Amino acid sequence: MSALRVFSFGGGQQSVAALVLAATGRISFPTFLFANVGADSEQPETLRYFQEHAQPFAEKHGIELVELARIGRSGPRRGETRTLLNDLERPESKSIDIPVHLNGGGPGSRKCTDRFKISVIARELATRGATETSPATVGIGISLDEIHRANNRTRIPHEQVVYPLLDLGLRRTDCQRIIRKAGLPIPPKSACWFCPMKRPSEWHELRRNQPELFDQACALEDQLVERRRRLGRDPAYLTGLGRPLRQAIPGGVDLLPLADESDGSCDSGWCMT
């Protein structure tokens, strides 16, 4: 087993609980890597929590908590710090790298997780000496109530994925208890504010509590629909409700629980933990 042990820090409840467990010696991960998809893309509350609570806690307990970004590797964008939102809004782009809902409700490409989370961390591990013959052990913050998201397979040859929260039999409620006991506030759910994996109820919450972000999500959806129109393709939306976000999530109306058809989480485990 490689001596290099890191935890993929997503900024949510499971990741913060893992940080506390590492600080108290219950799991052995001296390094936590946070692949930030962009200050314009991550949920603002997640970034605020990272700066105001996670970083000071890690520093206090001697844990290395490193913030990473995707950097252009070739062509005119070589050396440029890239963000997911910036990539989505590029006028010349012909692809959409988030899982927008296609005609019929099915999700599209999920290249966002691979390009802005998995690949970013994989490059950092290679820089730190991980190799195919001596892979790094990478902890993923999936708890027992989300065990269906766990998958030990990885396409990165210099990684070995493990699930320490599952090994300890911890659920999300346990993670919350661990965080509170450490004197930390409970972090918000981590995700991009425009993530199509949100439940309809979460979109309603965004519209009610952060109307500016909701308007920005509507504007982004308009851009993506227009791009697909130019390419001769059917519209694709940020929800699976088959219509534009402004219509699907009306203001001043709460959604019935039965309409929350999605579990609201990416199935890889690299996001929303």
Residue-averaged pLDDT of the chain: 90
What digits encode the pLDDT tens for the residues 43-93?
999 999 999 999 999 999 999 999 999 998 777 777 889 999 999 999 888
CB 170 within 8 A of CB 143: yes
- Our count of domains for the chain comes to 1
Q: Does 47 reside within a domain?
A: yes
Q: Check residue 73 and give its pLDDT.
A: 78
Q: Is residue 265 part of a domain?
A: no
Is 269 domain-assigned? no
- Stretches where the chain sits below pLDDT 70 are 1-2, 104-108, 152-153, 252-270
pLDDT of residue 93: 85
Domain assignment present for residue 204? The answer is yes
Three-state SS across 144-190? HHHHHHCCCCCCCCCEEEECHHHHCCCCHHHHHHHHHHCCCCCCCCC
What are the beta bridge partners of residue 70?
Answer: 82
pTM: 0.90
Question: Is 108 part of any domain?
Answer: yes
264 assigned to some structural domain? no
Q: What angle do CA 247, 251, 254 make, to 5 degrees?
A: 100
User: Domain of 216?
Assistant: 5-259
Residue 92 lies in a domain: yes
Q: Residue 225 belongs to a domain with what CATH number?
A: 3.40.50.620
267 within a domain of the structure (yes/no): no
